[in-house]
């Protein structure tokens, strides 16, 4: 049997997770904006390509492997897909 206290604790924990997620997202936006602001256009393009590759790594591996060669940045053209 679940008690009222357990339900209240669970809701409090969920609210804390949402708060942390929102703060982390705001920090990411500020950080990326600052990096872009002080970089040249070429540096920004390279940075965004690396971020894209990093985020693509969180896809299921089969999906990533199928698109790996086609989506590689120019500077990694000869590198093997992992």
Give the three-class secondary structure for 55.
helix
Cβ-proximal residues to 39 (8 Å cutoff; 6+ apart), any chain? 47
The per-residue pLDDT for 10 is 78
Q: Which of 4-8, 57-61, 66-70, 78-82 has the highest mean pLDDT?
A: 4-8
Where do runs of H (alpha helix) occur along the chain?
Answer: 4-37, 41-56, 61-71
- Per-residue pLDDT of 37-54, as tens digits, reads 999 999 999 988 988 888
């Amino acid at each position: 049997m679940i008690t009222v206290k357990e339900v209240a604790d669970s809701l409090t924990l969920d609210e804390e997770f949402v708060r942390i997620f929102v703060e982390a997202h705001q920090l990411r936006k500020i950080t990326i904006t600052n990096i872009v602001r002080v970089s040249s256009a070429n540096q920004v393009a390279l940075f965004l390509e690396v971020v894209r590759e990093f985020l693509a790594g969180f896809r299921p591996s089969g999906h990533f492997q199928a698109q790996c060669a086609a989506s590689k940045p120019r500077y990694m053209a000869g590198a093997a897909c992992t």
